[in-house]
A and B are shown apart, each in its own frame.
Chain A
Amino acid sequence: MTDNQEQLIQEAVEKALQGDMDAVNNIEDRVTRSKAKAALVKAKREAAKTSAEPSSEDKSEESATESKPAPLSLNQKIAGIIASQFPGTVDEESSSETHIQLQPAKWFDVAQYLRDDPACLFDSLQCVTGVDLGEESELEVRYNLHSMTHRHAVEIRIECARNNPKVPSVETVWHIGDWFERETYDMFGIEFEGHRDLRRILLPDDWEGWPLRKDYEVQETYHGIVVPKVKEGWE
């Protein structure tokens, strides 16, 4: 019986390692099934250990013999294009495979270039996200761009000072920039320079403070109405 059980577990684990989880899940007996799952975890851990070591060696060997750079991600390619067109705008140290870090100064020109250049053609501004990097540090705006022609997407990040946050507006480059920037202004107080109609959009015009900043303190009353506090520390 136990031999039978062990054999069953072993078979199921082997199948699961090849990607067929159903073999484990279809075991009728609950105890056997949980044993099989435990065995699977163990097997996976060992497999990861053995595969991780040689693979890192492989990599170093590969890079030593061929010295071929890893293929650039799209973000890195676009960062290269921006850097060659607008020297000094890309912050290469903090850029990564998944985003491009830009200096705010020439953002408007860069945005126009990104929209019109045939290699980029980012005709759609998907999302503008304001981020508070922490009470002691700066604010950041993140733009997700997408191209309907090339079907590719990049993420641009621009940092701005907490005390006097200013970023050039791209409202005239993409129409939706208008509302997205108003929303970011509303929530973070980031001023988009050159925006023609920078007002609050979701909150009332006479609301105080910037709600999505981490150091935001809600006002006590609004026109005589007590403002409820956000509950903290849910568990």
Chain B
Amino acid sequence: MVLNIGPQHPSTHGVLRLKVVTDGEIVSDITPIIGYLHRCFEKHCENSTYEQVIPYTDRCDYIASMNNNFGYVVAMEELMEIKVPERVEYIRVIMAELNRIASHLLALGTYGLDVGAFTPFLYMFRDRERILDIFELTCGARLLYNYMWVGGVSHDLPVGFVETVYNFLDYFEPKVQEYNDILTFNKIFIERTADVGVLLPEVAISFGVSGPNLRGSGVKWDIRKDEPYSIYERFDFDVPVGQGLVGTMGDCWDRFYVRVLEMIESTKILRQALKDIPANGDVHQALPKKIRPPKGSIYRRTESPRGDLGYYIISDGSPQPYRLKMRSPAFTALSVLNEISRGWMLSDVIAVLGSLDIVLGEIDR
């Protein structure tokens, strides 16, 4: 039987259509049909200046806009060989890690929703709200920030920012235990997710799966550690990997639990960054008036909450990019769906899809 899921369906996390071939309730083939949100971001970039690209990157992965901004400006600064002031580096890391926590909270909450747990979703959205408040305090926007600019950030930190984030961390850290109690180690949740959709490490690498999904399969690979960018080499943090604690290594539960552990690592980075951030300094210092990178091309990737976010930028010396390609981690993650959910029940497909944490804005671009 051919079953159509989506494009409008709550469990597809956006406008994704799945053509599922089933035999009874057992799935034998899945064809994801994407492109419903395609805006040809890359064509738009060719007709915008380098500064105007940044708001477009916000709208790709709209759950983690800060990290998308971050990836782009890191690539641009490497292409132009700019060094940004210390304070800017710290501000960027703080924003990126806050956004990582917010993004993981959304991923975990909606994943609970996918497999039938409603309450954790509300808990996590309650706490994500606090991070969005911090962002609103900083740059006025709650979802699409346009905050990181080439050579700096758009606004300096507001008065009392550091205390606000400390307060948030003091509030948030004990909450992780609460999530674990209510969802992670809940027996029903484990029944639904353990041993389901096992992703083997070599399959994951061949499919270009990255980030928490790859680490869930036991591969210790994090660009923040292995190809450090910005100032990440200064911070002391671990890279959690899946161990098959309640099932097989690389199952849905492992991918879920890696995200929980990563939030704790992010709070560690945040505490170190808040301690060391220079008290004042100009945040526009290295900002050029008109961005005209030298001729050349660059491929740079950074660690977004979904994995390796790469930008391939080709410059011909004009104020507009000649070609800009975004390598989105969710695109590669979705491509593995068919491989790991064949042979499972239809309801497990939803569990597998949720565990991959896709964002359609980034897949379709």
* A-to-B contact residues, CB < 8 Å: 21-22, 25, 123-127, 129-132, 142, 144, 148, 151, 155, 174-176, 178-180, 187, 200-204, 211-212, 230-235
Contact = CB atoms under 8 A, between A and B. Distances in A.
Given A155-B299, A234-B47, A125 B208 contact: yes
Given A176-B335, A234-B47, 15 more contacts: A21-B285, A125-B208, A126-B299, A148-B205, A148-B221, A151-B226, A175-B206, A175-B208, A175-B335, A175-B339, A178-B335, A180-B208, A202-B364, A230-B43, A233-B47
Given A124-B205, A234-B48, A25 B281 contact: yes
B208 A232 contact: no
In the A-B complex, the 9 residue pairs with the closest CB atoms: A176-B208, A202-B35, A127-B327, A129-B325, A175-B206, A202-B38, A175-B207, A129-B312, A179-B335
Nearest to A157: B297
Contacts of A201: 34-35
B109 interface: no
B299 A232 contact: no
Given A22-B281, A131-B323, A234-B47, A126 B208 contact: yes
Interface string B189-225: 0000000000000110111100000000001010000
Contacts of A25: 85, 281-282, 285
Contacts of A178: 335
A228 to B, nearest CB: 11
A129 B47 CA distance: 18
A37 to B, nearest CB: 10
B34 A211 contact: no
A126 B308 contact: yes
A124 B206 contact: yes
A203 B38 contact: yes
A191 B77 CA distance: 34
B216 to A, nearest CB: 15
Contacts of A22: 278, 281
Contacts of A129: 299, 312, 323, 325
B205 A132 contact: no
Contacts of B43: 211-212, 230
Nearest to A124: B205
A180 to B, nearest CB: 8
A158 to B, nearest CB: 15
Contacts of A127: 299, 310, 312, 325, 327
A144 to B, nearest CB: 5
Given A126-B208, A176-B332, A232-B47, A148 B312 contact: no
B365 A187 contact: no
A144 B310 contact: yes
A203 B277 CA distance: 45
B323 A187 contact: no
A126 B327 contact: yes
Nearest to A19: B83
B301 A126 contact: yes
A234 B49 contact: yes
Given A129-B312, A202-B365, A203-B35, A21 B85 contact: yes
Contact of A124 (B40, B49, B208): B208
Contacts of B38: 202-203
B93 interface: no
Nearest to B38: A202
A202 B364 CA distance: 6
Contacts of B47: 230-234
Nearest to A179: B335
Nearest to B40: A211
Contacts of A131: 314, 323
Interface in B82-100: 85
Contacts of B331: 179
- The winner among B207, B208, B278 for most chain A CB atoms within 10 A is B208
Interface in B264-289: 278, 281-282, 285
A202 B34 contact: yes
B236 to A, nearest CB: 21
A159 B62 CA distance: 35
B42 interface: yes
A148 B49 contact: no
